[in-house]
Every structure is written in C-alpha cells, then in structure tokens.
Chains A and B, each alone.
Chain A
Amino acid sequence: MDINWKWDMFFEAFPYILQGLGVTVGLTFACFLFALVFGFVWVFLRRIKFKPVNWLVTWIMEFIRSTPPLIQLFFIYYAWPMVPGIGVSLSSFEAAILGLGIHFSTYIGEVYRSGIEGVDKGQWEASTALNFSTRQKWTKIILPQAIPPTIPMLGNYLIIMFKEVPLASTIGVVGILALAETYGTDNFRMLEAYTIVALIFLVLSYPSAILINKLEKKMNRRFDKKAALQDSKGAVV
C-alpha cells in the first residue's frame, strides 16, 4: 500500500499552520479565564437557599452540560442575533469565548464546589466565633483553603478546553485547524495538514498533562512540606 506523503509539502505547510497557534492558544486562555470567573458565579448562585432559584440554577447548569458545546456555539453565533429584543451580534472570537467559556464554567463551578465542600465545617464555625463578616469568611478563610487543592483539576480542564477550542473554527475563528483546512483544500494535501495539527496538539497537551500531574503531587504535600521545611530549619537552629 502506498502512502502519498510528501515531506516538502509537510515543511511548507508547517509554518503556515503554525501562524494560527497564537489564536488557538489565546482563545484557550480567554475561554479558561472566562470559565474561572464565571465558575464562581455558579457557586454563589447555587448557594442561594430560596428553592425556586436554586432549582432553576441547577436546571440551567444541567442543561448547559447536557447539550454539545458545538450547538451552543452555533446558537450564540448564528441564532442569538436573531432573537428580537435581546439578540446581540458577536464576532466569532467573542462568540467562542462566551460559548466555550460558559460551557466549561459549569464544570469549573463543580470543581470549586468540591473544593469548598472539602473545607472542614469547623473552619466556618471558627470564623463565625471570631466574628468575621460573610465576605471575610470567604476571602480570608474558606477560599484560601478550598481553591489550592483544586488547581490540578483546573489544569486538567485547561487541557480539555485546549482540545475543544478547534470547535471554534466552525464559526470562523482562524486557529491552527482552520489554517490546516485552508492549506489542505488549496493544495490537496489533507494528510500532511491534519497531521501537523494533531502533532501541535500532542506536543502542547502531553507535556502540560505531565506538568499538571507533578503539580498535583506537589499540592498534596503542600502543608506538610511547609511544615517539614520549618522542622528542618528548627533542627538546624
């Protein structure tokens, strides 16, 4: 069997496709940032004790998670502008940030929630006993304990998002996938073009995954390590 592979085309396509990397990576981080912030919105909305609101918020989150991000992108980009009154027309980059950002914020919100629930109930009680305000309880006591352990999980979502960002090419965001498509169809070199895209993703995702794995191990030892460091200092003195 003959594989029609041309190295010269590969090397010609590579720099061309690589031009889109800035957009792909930029969009990833923009979506991630949006999701990180919006994740908190879900956390606090879900803590509202008023039943109908709580029910509604839970239902909306479930709805967002149960529909494909591709359809959400299409809806935001193509359908939303048609809605009379509240319709807004967004650029494809903005629509991608909003669509993927909101989609992933529901997962990120759950990550935050698991972190917050992991904080011992006694921490809330101690901060009440010291008469902290609600806001101070969150910012000084609870979140500083709840968020650091979730950093590895958040990192995993960053990688997952990075791999979902090519979806944005369907609404016209010109990242590496869109450029590969252009190059491939223009030169009839689909094999080389898409191989390059796959390689770029592999080269970026895999080391990141390893890095996050290491981070996770480090986080697990965090408080112990701080303590160990001091113990050793103490021994020297």
Chain B
Amino acid sequence: MTESIKENSSSISKTNSDPIVEYKNVHKSFGDVEVLKGLDLDIYPGEKVALIGPSGSGKTTIIRMLMTLEQPTSGEIIVDGKNLWHMEKNGKLVPASEHHLREVRGDIGMVFQHFNLFPHMTILQNCMTAPIHVKKEGKETARKRSIEMLEKVGLGDKLDNYPSQLSGGQKQRVAMARALVMRPKIMLFDEVTSALDPELVGEVLEVIRDIAKEGEMAMVLVTHEMDFALEVADRVIFLDDGVIAEQGAPSEVLEESDNERLQQFLYRFRS
C-alpha cells in the first residue's frame, strides 16, 4: 500500500526534484484520541495538493503541524531537507527551539478559516508588518509590494480600511495577500471558504485559482469544495480515520475510485 502511494505521488509531481515537505510516520494524538496514525506524505515543489475527508479525519492537523501550530506526537516532518520539529545538538536530536522553528518555517505561509487579520491595523499595515519586522525589508519596499499584492487580490481601494469594515470574502483576500507578500514556497489553506457566506466563496476561489496558475509555489488545500479541488489540484488525498485512504490525480480519486468510504463521503457532497 505504502509502496504504491509513493510511486503514485512521484509520478504526479511535475519535476523530478526532491520533495519540499516530507512527513515520515507522523502520529498525532489529542489526549486519548489519535487523529493521525502514521502519516507518510511527500509534497513536491510547486505541487498543488487537496486534502479532503470527513471532519475529524486529521486533514487540518496535517497542515497545522507543518505551520508549527501543533506538535506531532511522534514521527518527523522534513521541510526543504531540514527537520522541522527536531534539531541537532551535540550530535543528538533534540526538540526544536523557537529559534530553530523560526528558521525552518520561514518558507511556509498559511491562510486560516477565520481570516485572523490583525484588527488594530489597517489592511495595508496587516500586509506590511511581517515583511518589515520579520524579513527586515525597508518600509518603502514593503509598502510597494503590499500595495501591489492587495491590488492583485482586488482590494487596492481598501488600503486604509480596517478589517472590521470588510466583508468575509474581502477579509480572506487580505489574508491571502498578507501571506503572499512573505513569498512562501509552501502555502497552506485551512478551509478558507468554510466561514464565508455562499455568495462570497467565488471571489476567494478565484484568487486561489490565480495564485495556483503562477505555479512555482507548493499549495496544500484543506477543502470541502470538491469541484474546486478537481480543477486546481495536481493530487487529491482522501483522509479517513487518521490515514491516507486514497490518493491520486483528482479525476482518479474523485471520479474513478471504488473506495467505499470515499464514495460515501463524496455522495454527501453531491446530493
């Protein structure tokens, strides 16, 4: 099973380069509940991966561990060749320090279900603050790049507004601009349309579609938008009960698979 999955994923990757993210036998428990039961997963540079599955299947936990918001119970996560949660000290592997985490997660960005914009800052400040303080960019450069990015997501006229003045869809577009100005190599999307009113979902998906077309950034999307996954993703992964139950090209997984649990899951979305 594991063998076939590995073969599968490497055939899907566009390049023959090394994976940018590797999960190696990762387990994660919350109290007595084991939500991930030995995850092995490689993600390649530029690859677009959609994670689908019933709630509680562990899909959000997968990307939260990569963003260092949750710590794996066991196993390793390798980002661009570097161990994320462990570092070497005197020849031994020890739990990562905050300093080490900051070094390794610098190439990862994330967009959240509930936007998490900074309410005390304007839209422009929301985007500028990390380039200035984290990347130590000059204020003018950061400002220029932030404005460009906000224009790209269609919010060039809202620069001096506060988040509370925006609609959900607009907030989520700001959140994407804020993550993109950091120029991540890997972008994580955690159910970014789930908290939106139905009529606002489209504008957010459109931005993601545009980003995906540019290509060079790896994207991992936890999503319930099956049609969108089919359209944007290079690979769809179906998680069930803490393991990868099915994965492959979107059409294979979403249309041709005979996995019974997957059929049940998809049935609920199509009805």
Q: Which residue numbers of A lie inside 8 Å of B, CB to CB? A: 120, 122-123, 125-126, 128-134, 136, 140-141, 144-145, 223-224, 226-227, 230-231
User: Within the complex, what minimum Cβ distance (angstroms) separates A207 from chain B?
Assistant: 30
Q: How many A-B residue pairs have C-beta atoms within 8 angstroms? Tell me.
A: 71
The one of B67, B119, B178 that contacts A128, using a Cβ cutoff of 8 Å: B67
The one of B112, B130, B164 that contacts A125, using a Cβ cutoff of 8 Å: B112
Query: B164–A140 contact, CB under 8 A?
Result: no
Whether a CB of chain A sits under 8 angstroms from the CB of B23 is: no
Query: B133–A129 contact, CB under 8 A?
Result: no
Taking A122-B114, A132-B130 as known contacts, 11 extra A-B pairs with beta carbons closer than 8 A to each other, sorted by chain A number, are A120-B116, A125-B110, A128-B67, A129-B69, A129-B112, A134-B98, A140-B133, A141-B118, A144-B120, A145-B120, A227-B165
Query: B112–A131 contact, CB under 8 A?
Result: no
Stretch of B75-83, B101-109, B206-214, B232-240 that contacts chain A: B101-109
A230-B68 Cα distance, complex, nearest whole Å: 37
Query: A131–B116 contact, CB under 8 A?
Result: no
Q: Which residue numbers of B lie inside 8 Å of A, CB to CB? A: 67-69, 98, 102, 105-106, 108-110, 112, 114-120, 129-130, 133-134, 160-162, 164-165, 178-179, 182
**B161 nearest in chain A by CB position:** A230
Given contacts A136-B133, A140-B129, A223-B119, contact A130 B162 (CB under 8 A): no
Q: Which residues on the B side are within 8 Å of A134 (C-beta)?
A: 98
Q: Which residues on the A side are within 8 Å of B178 (C-beta)?
A: 130
Q: Which residues on the A side are within 8 Å of B112 (C-beta)?
A: 122, 125-126, 129
User: Within the complex, what minimum Cβ distance (angstroms) separates B171 from chain A?
Assistant: 12
User: Within the complex, what minimum Cβ distance (angstroms) separates A139 from chain B?
Assistant: 9
